[in-house]
A and B are shown apart, each in its own frame.
Chain A
Amino acid sequence: MNCDQFYSVFRHPYSITNLASVQNNTSNKMSAESDMEYSDNDGDDYDYYGEQDDCDMEAVDRTKSDPEYFLYTCLRVEEVEKLLNESIELLSNSLQITPSLAKVTLHAYEWNAQEIINKYKENANEVLVYSRVKSRSPVLQASTSRSSCAVCANTPPMHKYSALACGHYFCNDCWAMHFEVQIMQGVSNTITCMAQDCELRAPEDFVLSHVTKPNLRERYQQFMFKDHVKSHPELRFCPGPNCQWIFRAWTREGARRVECQGCELLTCFSCGAPHHAPTDCPTIRRWLTKCADDSETANYISAHTKDCPKCQICIEKNGGCNHMQCGACRHDFCWVCLGDWKSHGSEYYECSRYKEDPNMSSDSQHAQAREALKKYLHYYERWENHARSLKLEEQTLASLKSRINQKVMAGEGTWIDWQYLWDSAKLLKRCRYTLQYTYPFAYYMDNGPRKELFEYQQAQLEAEIENLSWKVERAETTDRGDLENQMDIAEKRRTTLLKDFLEFHTTTASSSKV
């Protein structure tokens, strides 16, 4: 299966200017279309769609306009079960093996049915040995008399013994007990033989023929399913709490945004962490570990409230916007750098940029450590600040919904009339999300022209986001055209930054096509 084909499957009727309004239903549409196309299909035959030229054109368009564009679907448990069963059936039919054996093999070969079939034709034995259902060494001949079971030391009658393909016979009671203990510990696909140094895996039918308790059988099958999804390179569970949805996509390289249809959580398909473009997977892991280690100090150092730089009154931030206006003296200032908001100007927004102290004495180790901490705190504070802003804007979004409802009920226009407000808040969330994740990226960047360019673009994005946030919070009293204009500018800044800095290390479908 190859990504080129998948990229061309999807139709893209959107252009960048109305991207915001389209975003809500993007994932729905995707999965609706893909449901039709993938689940009723044996999973291999997509060329038909690839040959449609007009689709190709649109696919290219979409990947150009949205650097984060990524084809995926959200599937329900039943749909995934169906998908897995199709692979199992395909394999068991074409190789004439039991479905339960097919499962073990697929699990071992990461669900690449075609690879198994090819290899099986070349050397069936090797496939079975690799899947650990057959031992490499010659099978022990079942002796006609068994003195006792090596595990429990009991002497049950001959017919109450069984063994896997390795020929290590144990009594059925011991097998049952072994499986029970393993299942209770959450093991399913990888339950092995009880003999010393024997790594043979017990296939499903063998396990189920020994386990009789219904709740245990159910548990086993649940674990099997989880294990299958985890071992499948195209599938990933949504990490949301109690969320049942499963993502399906075709590549695991770079920061790949997938949005859950159920809980709306943004996840990176490649690594399973919260989505993190433009930062790549290894970098965000480093950053998050670092934050977990150091954040106590950082929290301690960065206070939750700040004093107004003009009248010194203590201010608690209750909205997402960093353009602050002091309630007491009406002074406009920036929450991040505490400078006068006016001095930020529109041309060059400086406060996202970290300025290294030029007078730093390079010989003093202590000063260097302090400078390193200062640098980290600079980025961490901004990262944290935007995370907090995101939370606060989440509340704005919730109250906006009820405000719109009130307006509609009061007869002040319809939902459609107020849709732009909703869209602007959603867009703001997306922009700020990306902005938050630019800080770990910048932290690990080497100094140089590329970093300068990045910080310039980051500053531009930040300025536009704060403008947008300011306008969204006062949206009902400001001009609609003005707001929509601001939305467009902010989104363009975001995509420009991502286009220039979001890197996928392998040649994926999008780059090879474009």
Chain B
Amino acid sequence: MANIAAKRIKREFKEVMKSEEVAGGSIKLELINDSWTELQGEIAGPPDTPYEGGTFLLEIKVPETYPFNPPKIRFMTKIWHPNVSSVTGAICLDILKDQWAAALTLRTVLLSIQALLSAAEPNDPQDAVVAKQYREDIRLFNLTASHWTNVYAGGPTVIWEFNQKVQVLIEMGIDEDQARVALSTFEWEIERATEHLFS
């Protein structure tokens, strides 16, 4: 079993390395250990989305039963997206669950995750809070997602207003990440965010 898994991963690794996406810098794959069971993926935020310009790291764990079971993948870079948990980075994507097929490869999976960043599925959310904002206030959602991309993924768009608000909460003694989650959750209203944090 593990034999097939290792063999497959080796071949897929080569496939990704040779692919035009790697050449174009849109995806990357790195080995973490020699046993081929852990890898690190990297995808570029797709153009014309709030993630543009950001680089997102993914943790990839290959199970013993690969490729008959899907790889376990989560975002290591924090991201504000309806189908990704803003806390754990868990991804809600059908091909990583019941729609997995043994013939799928790490390359296709990485490309699918990238596609998910361009086209969110707010009706099948991983993070209910983000999905609600996506549905009800897309403008604020885009700003928040850009802000997160800037702070965590090295994106170019700086939103001064949000930075200042986070700073206000940090000065109250709140952890930066916690402050950002609270503000993003409560539509960047300092009062409600603090009320939530101190209750």
Contacts and interface: CB of A to CB of B under 8 A. Distances in A.
Contact of A150 (B1, B4, B68, B103): B103
Interface residues of B, number: 14
A197 interface: yes
Sorted nearest first, the 6 A-B pairs with minimum C-beta distance are: A194-B102, A181-B68, A151-B102, A153-B11, A196-B101, A195-B103
Contacts of B65: 181
A152 B4 contact: yes
Contacts of B11: 153
Contacts, number: 41
22 contacts: A151-B4, A151-B67, A151-B102, A151-B103, A152-B4, A152-B7, A152-B8, A154-B7, A168-B103, A170-B102, A174-B102, A177-B1, A177-B4, A178-B68, A180-B68, A181-B65, A181-B69, A194-B103, A195-B101, A196-B104, A197-B101, A198-B101
A195 B100 CA distance: 9
A196 B103 contact: yes
A153 B8 contact: yes
B17 to A, nearest CB: 15
A182 B101 CA distance: 12
Interface string B92-114: 00000000011110001000000
Contacts of B4: 151-152, 174, 177
Interface SS of A by simple majority = loop
Given A151-B8, A152-B8, A153-B7, A178 B103 contact: no
B138 to A, nearest CB: 30
Contacts of A150: 103
B68 A177 contact: yes
Interface of B: 1, 4, 7-8, 11, 65, 67-69, 101-104, 108
Interface string A170-191: 1000100110111000000000
A154 to B, nearest CB: 8
Contacts of B104: 196
Contacts of A181: 65, 68-69
Nearest to B3: A152
Nearest to B9: A153
Nearest to B69: A181
Nearest to B67: A151
Nearest to A150: B103
Nearest to B12: A153
Contacts of B108: 196
A194 B101 CA distance: 5
A178 B8 CA distance: 14
Interface in A132-175: 150-154, 168, 170, 174
Contacts of A174: 4, 102
B128 to A, nearest CB: 18
Contacts of A194: 101-103
Contacts of A195: 101, 103
B117 to A, nearest CB: 20
A168 B8 CA distance: 18
A152 B6 CA distance: 10
A195 B105 CA distance: 11
Contacts of B101: 192-198
B49 to A, nearest CB: 24
